Amino acid sequence: MSVPELRLVRYFVAVAEELHFGRAARRLHMAQPGLSQQIRSLEQQLGVRLLDRTSRQVRLTPAGTLLLNEGRRLLALAERTADQVRRAGLGQVGRVTVAAIGSATYDIIPRLLREHRKRLPDVEVILREMSTPAQVQALRSGEIDVGFLRLPADVDELVAHVVREDRMALMLPESHPLGAMREIPLRALAHERLIVFPAAPRPSWVDTVVAACREAGFEPNVAQEAMESATVVSFVAAGIGVAPVPEGLLMLARPGVVCRMVAPPAPVTRLAVVHRAGELLPAVATLMGVVHELWGG
């Protein structure tokens, strides 16, 4: 026995709900003789009588009652499935894996997630914290869909869009003499103990710091490394040293820490969103649409 077409089930449900071929035909926008023929075809396919017909009345058989109930569920499921497929094609449902460096998780990522969730609540965003080199590798392998990283980086054959430029800033203990200055020349750090992020994996922020110090005419005195931004802030508050950081991290300042900008010409680092080249999956494309609305481009 063959499985009836969904179209025939839809015709039957209309007749079963109306219990009148004329009204059902008008509801389906088709001729009554054609509808009667389709119902007979359905009964033949199933090998059972679904309706008892007289010249004055149409009644459901027990088999017809069962098909009405199951048919309603089947049509509702088909409609939901079609809707989900359409929405998936438009990027309104699905999953996107996004990686970010630590400094992007304080403001860029929360802002993106708030706006994305408001517009696309049925797209799941999976977040990972990764270094810039790890993100580049994960993008190329397909492990992640979108990355927020710092340039320069090896983004050949990837698409990068700058979302923010950060000047170099300084975090100092609140009693530090340099805190009296509005902007601090980089060469003023020649005799300061510096707190930096680790050099590996490269490229890293400390490469920018070291290159800028050498260009200013001195070799930096790295007194302490710290993996986490919050740890850097704590070390500064403890008086261990001074921390050159991207200005986007200044929002992490706490009591006991003073923040100042490095005087021009200050090094600039670029925070970028990166994805693979070519046609994007719909859910990735919709997320990137939100990124471009928030940060231009």
* Per-residue pLDDT, 55: 76
- With a cut of 60, say whether residue 1 has pLDDT above it: no
- The reply to whether 56 and 125 lie within a common domain is no
Domain count for the chain? 3
CA dist 121 and 290 (Å) reads 13
Q: What percent of the chain has pLDDT over 90?
A: 77
Strands 94-100 and 123-129: parallel
Residue 1 lies in a domain: no
* Per-residue pLDDT, 171: 96
- The reply to whether 125 and 101 lie within a common domain is yes
Over residues 263-278, the pLDDT tens digits come to 988 888 899 999 999 9
- The reply to whether 157 and 276 lie within a common domain is yes
CA dist 167 and 263 (Å) reads 9
Residue 113 lies in a domain: yes
* CATH number for the domain harbouring residue 22: 1.10.10.10
Residue 258 lies in a domain: yes
- The reply to whether 77 and 119 lie within a common domain is no
Neighbours of 124 (CB within 10 A): 12
- The reply to whether 207 and 235 lie within a common domain is yes
- The reply to whether 150 and 278 lie within a common domain is yes
Which among 88, 105, 132 is the end of a domain?
88
Taking alpha carbons only, the member of 116, 119, 150 closest to residue 133 is 150
- The reply to whether 202 and 259 lie within a common domain is yes
- The reply to whether 204 and 242 lie within a common domain is yes
* Per-residue pLDDT, 202: 66
Which among 32, 55, 88 is the end of a domain?
88
Residue 155 lies in a domain: yes
Residue 183 lies in a domain: yes
3-class secondary structure, 157:
coil
- Cβ atoms of residues 264 and 121 within 8 Å: no
CA dist 34 and 52 (Å) reads 18
Residue 118 lies in a domain: yes
CA dist 212 and 217 (Å) reads 9
- With a cut of 90, say whether residue 139 has pLDDT above it: yes
Domain holding 71, by residue range, is: 6-88
* Per-residue pLDDT, 227: 86
Over residues 26-80, the pLDDT tens digits come to 999 999 999 999 999 999 999 999 999 887 889 999 999 999 999 999 999 988 8
- The reply to whether 281 and 140 lie within a common domain is yes
**Residue 199 confidence class, pLDDT cut points 50, 70, 90:** confident
| pTM for the whole structure | 0.75
Residue 233 lies in a domain: yes
- The reply to whether 103 and 248 lie within a common domain is no
Q: Which two tokens stand for residue 17?
A: 């709900």
Sign, CA dihedral 261-262-265-269, equals negative
* CATH number for the domain harbouring residue 231: 3.40.190.10
Task: Among 108-112, 150-154, 202-206, 239-243, name the one with the lowest average pLDDT.
Answer: 202-206
The average pLDDT across 79-99 equals 87
* Per-residue pLDDT, 296: 81
Which residue pairs from 131-135 have beta carbons closer than 8 angstroms and sit at least 24 positions apart in sequence?
Answer: 131/101, 131/201, 131/204, 132/101, 132/201, 132/203, 132/204, 133/201, 133/202, 133/203, 134/99, 134/201, 135/99, 135/101, 135/274
- The reply to whether 169 and 256 lie within a common domain is yes
Residue 114 lies in a domain: yes
- The reply to whether 261 and 179 lie within a common domain is yes
